[in-house]
Structure 1
Amino acid sequence: MPLILEFCAENCTYLKQAIQAGVDRIELCDNLAVGGTTPSYGVIKQAANLSASSGVELSVIIRPRGGDFCYNEQELTIMQMDIEQAIKLGATGIVFGCLGSDNRIDEQACRSLMRDCSGIDFTFHMAFDQINIGNKFEALDQIIELGFDRLLLHGNNPEKSVIENAEEINRYIDYVSGQLEIMVGGGITAANLKEVKQAVNTNIFHGTKIVKF
């Protein structure tokens, strides 16, 4: 399988350098200090223009605030409008994740946000890491059934590295058996990528330092 590198970009900073360094996809966000929130329309448009001219995919994170992933009706309305605008501005993919107050996947919220978005690539983001480990396999079934293309995760223990979480991650990869792409992120850099590849049975990697430039 070919190696796929996704660069996590805060606004348009370093976007051109990352593309020149050979990334395959951009995840565009704002406010990485809280794990990423929805970027402005102007940032999305500029990133979309640059990505399109370079043949690089552009996924936009849709998250109205930091904190948990349990959204009220007003926040879901905001997210729906942001998804519509991101697609109009040229995004090829959308990244989001919705959980209920019990930290299980909110299927109704996810379906409402994915409605009328044919041809768009969807990633369920690291909200998955907040799900109780005993409910993870059920969550994988739900993510597949909902129609997501991939899942971004770090592993259940945020204090450990991806390599230390590799046994857990590989169980999920085996379980989905090709029905869902598994992308790993969190502390992955160009310097440790080779070691991570040897530990985790995927070919898709995500990070702010995934390439050197």
Structure 2
Amino acid sequence: MILKEACVADFEALKTAVDSGANRIELNSNLAEGGTTPAIGTAKMAVDYCHSKNVKVIAMIRPRGGNFVYSKNELDVMKEDINFLSSINVDGFALGVISENHELDFNSIDFLTKNIKNKELVFHMAFDEIDRKHHKKAMEQLNNLRFNRILSHGTPYSGNLDIDYLREMISMSNNTLEILPGGGINSHNVNQICNLIGSQQAHGTHIV
């Protein structure tokens, strides 16, 4: 069975997705900007509803749209968001920080995650902005930081899905990290795409 992660930005969309068979939720605000940290009230209601249905909630940690290079103040905001969302029992966090030269910003990610316990960690599509020549090293670093998976198009070009490279990423990860494909995957093509990639999970705004 394919695990279907629905990307949503409000409670009504979340409820519809869960009631339609979503197995996991990525909770955001501002999907038009690529997804940002969810509102407090939405997050609390999401956790309560999803946990009553045995569905996990992964909260986006992203203070704004745009690039994934963050200032010290922005990192402090992200840390506070993580602390609050941990207190209301979200199941995990989707986040990503890269450097100006398109490598993983290990120190910033360590700052954000070092005190997180018993939560899933997902490096979101900021990974697609990392130069491919650094992907294997980035995967090793993320594994050392206790990340569970990487959400990826397999390409830096938004809206596209590079099936061949996603297969390569699964091989490159050597079973240390899950590769979660996302980008143009919907309820009509999810099974076909997952079969082509060799994935048992998929992510999308219309996944159910």
> TM (normalized to structure 1)?
0.94
1:50-129 correspondence runs (5 A): 50-129=49-128
Tell me the distance in 1 between the aligned counterparts of 2:59 and 2:36. 9
1:23 corresponding residue in structure 2: 22
Structure 1 residue runs of 5 or longer lacking an equivalent are: none
Deviations 1:174-212 (A, max 9, x none): 11121111100011000111220221111110001000x
1:39 corresponding residue in structure 2: 38
> TM (normalized to structure 2)?
0.96
Rate the CA distance shift 1:208–1:160 in 2: closer, same or farther, 3 A.
closer
Tell me the distance in 1 between the aligned counterparts of 2:159 and 2:43. 32
Tell me the distance in 1 between the aligned counterparts of 2:203 and 2:6. 6
Cα offset, 1:35, TM superposition: 0.5
Aligned residue type for 2:110: R
The DSSP-based 3-state class of the residue aligned with 2:77 is helix
Tell me the distance in 2 between the aligned counterparts of 1:22 and 1:103. 37
Tell me the distance in 2 between the aligned counterparts of 1:66 and 1:13. 23
The DSSP-based 3-state class of the residue aligned with 1:134 is helix
- 1:181 paired to 2:181: no
1:195 corresponding residue in structure 2: 192
Aligned residue type for 2:174: S
CA contact (8 A) 1:197 1:203 kept: yes
CA contact (8 A) 1:133 1:156 kept: no
Aligned residue type for 2:141: Q
CA contact (8 A) 2:5 2:203 kept: yes
CA contact (8 A) 2:4 2:202 kept: yes
| Matched-pair identity in % | 33
- 1:12 paired to 2:37: no
Deviations 1:160-185 (A, max 9, x none): 732xx111111110111211111000
Tell me the distance in 2 between the aligned counterparts of 1:155 and 1:177. 16
Rate the CA distance shift 1:157–1:105 in 2: closer, same or farther, 3 A.
closer
Structure 2 residue runs of 5 or longer lacking an equivalent are: none
The DSSP-based 3-state class of the residue aligned with 1:13 is helix
Matched pairs, number:
208
Give runs of ≥4 in structure 1 deviating > 4 Å. Answer: none
The DSSP-based 3-state class of the residue aligned with 1:156 is coil
Tell me the distance in 2 between the aligned counterparts of 1:107 and 1:159. 24
Tell me the distance in 2 between the aligned counterparts of 1:13 and 1:131. 34
